[in-house]
Amino acid sequence: MKKFVSAIVVILILCSNQLNISAAKNGQLDLKSKGAVLLDSDTGAVLFAKNADKKMYPASLTKIATAIYAIDKGNLDSVVTVSANAVRQDGTRVYLNEGEKITLKQLIQGMLVNSGNDAAVAIAEHLDGSVEQFSVHLNTYLNTTIGVHHTHFINPNGLFDKNHYTTAMDLGIITNYAMKNPVFAEIFGTKVLKWKGQSWKTNILTHHRMLKGELAYPGVTGGKTGYTVKAKQTLATTAANPKIRLTAVVLNSEQPRDKYDDTAVLFDYGFKNFQHATLMQGESYTTDNKQYFPEKNTLITESVKGSTRVINNQGILSIKNTNNGQVIQLVSLKYKEPVPEKVVDIKETSTEKKEQEQTMTYVNAIYGVIIIALAGIIVGVRKKFVRKL
């Protein structure tokens, strides 16, 4: 009986560590999360979206934005002095001490890998003097540098506030931008972080169960978890195979496992259905007798089952799924200016013709004078010759 019970326990444990993957039905994905987006990490093509532009609470996914802002704007080797305000933060921490001195890079690592709320506030105060001023600068950075317009953050860590919100789409765009930075990408993909602080020395494991390997999924390259009572479960994850790199964001999941299962569904869909191709610089697309072309070789996302390319009269090229007509990506092309034809000015032509005629008359007159002179000379010479005879 004990052996039987043990076998059941082992089976349950194994099952709990397997991702529940649901297939797409009629082109739709059965997701439990209320908001989700799947993007091509390189081209930004939107491969799947569910309530992608609806305002939601991000929880600790906020720290993705804080991290890339700090990497872009700060000196990673600069030394931060931890304030009492940072130490007092609620939730997950890296147990900083007031007055502790620590590098900006280590704080970013502790914030992303262990989701340290104290580290996030220490970063904000170091960069901009206060959390309030940091939030102003962060929102400007997100709007002008990254180009998201439905996000408003009032703190660096994602602790709940009704005025602290974003969307799945904005978070996907922010994550794509951040992943292009090698420092961020390295930290985002860290599974084990050796932490040495004044009060805490340990090996910190990432909270992301797919990245850690507890819920194994091939090709996962990075991730960040989030949770508050109001935001519920949130997750941002990146993954890659030889054909394509993907970014998945899911928001507002009820159960902790839901966000992982949904992410696996998204990645399965993306890897199965999409791949990269290249628009070559020499290609030309014509509409309404206008020609458009890529200014350089341009990476695009297309369906593995085939795609069509349709240009409109504004020079926007739509990459469409051949099977269902879904627009996978839009690419702006450059208008090819036609070679201007030489316009003949009638007045100018008439004037030129008149000038040419006058010139010819003048030349002919000169030739006439020369011929007459030569004739006179010949006649004179002949008379002299006759007299001598």
List the 285-287 sheet strands across, edge first: 285-287, 290-293, 334-335
Tokens of 376: 């006179």
> What is the chain's percent helix, strand, coil content, to nearest 5?
40, 25, 35
Q: Which of 184, 232, 239, 234 is nearest to 211 (CA)?
A: 239
* Residue given tokens 């020369």 in the structure block: 370
Asked whether 298 and 329 are in contact (CB, 8 A), the reply is: no
Characterise 315 by phi-psi region: left (phi > 0), alpha (psi -120 to 50), beta (else).
Answer: left
Task: Provide DSSP, 40-75.
Answer: ETTT--EEEEESTTS-B--GGGHHHHHHHHHHHHS-
How far, in Å, CA of 236 to CA of 213, rounded?
A: 16
- CB atoms inside a 10 Å sphere around CB 348: 10
* Catalytic residue IDs: 60, 63, 115
Sheet containing strand 46-50, edge to edge, reads 46-50, 35-40, 245-253, 232-240, 220-228
